[in-house]
């Protein structure tokens, strides 16, 4: 009897840098079209390129367009009611002449990289991809997967250098007594950014940081503040970490009994429920083992 062989499993090149999402890398290589849903966001692909990103932790394209007068909120609402998703709404506004092409492209890329940063955050659940046979590239720019991953890694490093404790990224924030400069977490590198003029003087607060600090009330998170200001969430995190490093703000302390340094560091509830099925958990472990080959 003749045995029909199966193609060998692909072997990872151990000399190559590990991708943030091996699934996303494979989808880019096969020029896939569809939506990759991860724990903290989703990436829309067309022919292997990222055309749109969304995350509950980042303001959407609508916020960036309407917050500072680039577009009237009513105009966006009318377009959104007649469109199939934010990208289609933006295209309708572009075709109608209500939005300059340059302003739309800039806000689109800002929103894409901002939400993409959170969508590619480390995840405790596997991503899911839904194929779509009708690619929609449209007039707006798309970005290669490798470019989004490179920018995400650069942003992670920037935040770590500013202030290596991520607790303030997702927890409600409170005002703190600046006093002497706050010490960095044990074993962490010294934070970058504005420096104090002396050992007991806090770093000065810029007007941009002041707008963030004025909204710190014990209930708002960095994401809430970004939406109120109509700014990218990542840029708001930069301000928050600098203010935390200077001792101007701090995350609300974790509730008694919570695991120290863990519960408050996690983003809000994921877009998809956590994996509780033991069969799915086993498949995830097998997938991780195969990807490590």
214-231 per-position pLDDT tens digit: 999 999 999 999 999 999
Q: 277 falls in which pLDDT band (50, 70, 90)?
A: very low
**Mean pLDDT estimate for the chain:** 80
Which pLDDT value is given to residue 190?
Answer: 54
Of 114-128, 143-157, 189-203, the least confident: 189-203
If one compares 276 and 55, the residue with the highest pLDDT of the two is 55
**pLDDT tens across 170-183, in order?**
999 999 876 555 45
- Close Cβ partners of 239 (under 8 Å, ≥ 6 residues apart): 208, 209, 212
* CA–centroid distance for 192 within its chain: 21
Say if residue 189's pLDDT is above 90: no
- Neighbour count for residue 14 (Cβ, 10 Å): 8
Which pairs with CB-CB distance under 8 Å and at least 24 residues apart come from 133-136?
133/33, 134/33, 135/33, 135/46, 135/47, 136/46, 136/51, 136/87, 136/88
Tell me the domain boundaries of the chain. 22-158+271-291, 165-252
CA dihedral 10, 15, 19, 25 (to 10 degrees): -40
Evaluate whether the domain defined by 165-252 bears CATH number 1.10.760: no
Which pLDDT value is given to residue 18?
Answer: 59
Q: Which residue has the tokens 């991780």?
A: 288
**pLDDT tens across 125-143, in order?**
889 999 987 656 678 899 9
Of 9-13, 159-163, 175-179, 232-236, the least confident: 9-13
3-class state of residue 80 by DSSP: helix
- Average pLDDT over every residue of 145-157: 97
Which residues lie across from 43 on neighbouring strands?
36, 53
Which pLDDT value is given to residue 85?
Answer: 85
Which pLDDT value is given to residue 2?
Answer: 46
Say if residue 53's pLDDT is above 50: yes
Say if residue 83's pLDDT is above 60: yes
């Amino acid at each position: 009897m003749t045995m029909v062989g199966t193609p060998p499993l692909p072997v990872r090149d151990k000399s190559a840098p590990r991708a943030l999402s091996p699934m996303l890398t494979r989808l880019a290589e096969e020029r896939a079209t569809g939506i990759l849903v991860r724990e903290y966001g989703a990436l829309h692909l067309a022919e292997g390129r990222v055309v749109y990103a969304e995350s509950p932790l980042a303001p959407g394209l609508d916020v960036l367009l309407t917050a500072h007068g680039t577009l009237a909120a009513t105009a966006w609402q009318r377009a959104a009611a007649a469109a199939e998703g934010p990208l289609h709404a933006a295209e309708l506004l572009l075709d109608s002449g209500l939005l300059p092409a340059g302003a739309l492209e800039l806000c689109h890329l800002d929103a894409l990289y901002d939400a993409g940063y959170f969508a590619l955050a480390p995840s405790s659940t596997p991503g899911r991809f839904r194929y779509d046979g009708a690619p929609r590239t449209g007039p707006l720019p798309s970005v290669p997967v490798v470019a989004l991953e490179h920018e995400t890694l650069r942003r992670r490093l920037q935040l770590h250098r500013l202030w290596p404790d991520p607790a303030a990224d997702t927890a409600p924030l409170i005002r703190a007594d600046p006093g002497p400069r706050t010490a960095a977490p044990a074993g962490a590198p010294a934070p970058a950014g504005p420096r104090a003029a002396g050992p007991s003087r806090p770093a000065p607060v810029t007007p941009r940081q002041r707008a963030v600090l004025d909204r710190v009330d014990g209930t708002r998170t960095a994401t809430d503040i970004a939406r109120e200001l109509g700014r990218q969430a990542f840029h708001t995190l930069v301000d928050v970490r600098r203010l935390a490093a200077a001792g101007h703000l701090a995350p609300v302390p974790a509730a008694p009994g919570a695991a120290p340094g863990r519960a408050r560091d996690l983003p809000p509830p994921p877009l998809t429920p956590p994996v509780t099925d033991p069969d799915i958990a086993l498949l995830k472990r097998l997938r991780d083992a195969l990807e490590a080959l």
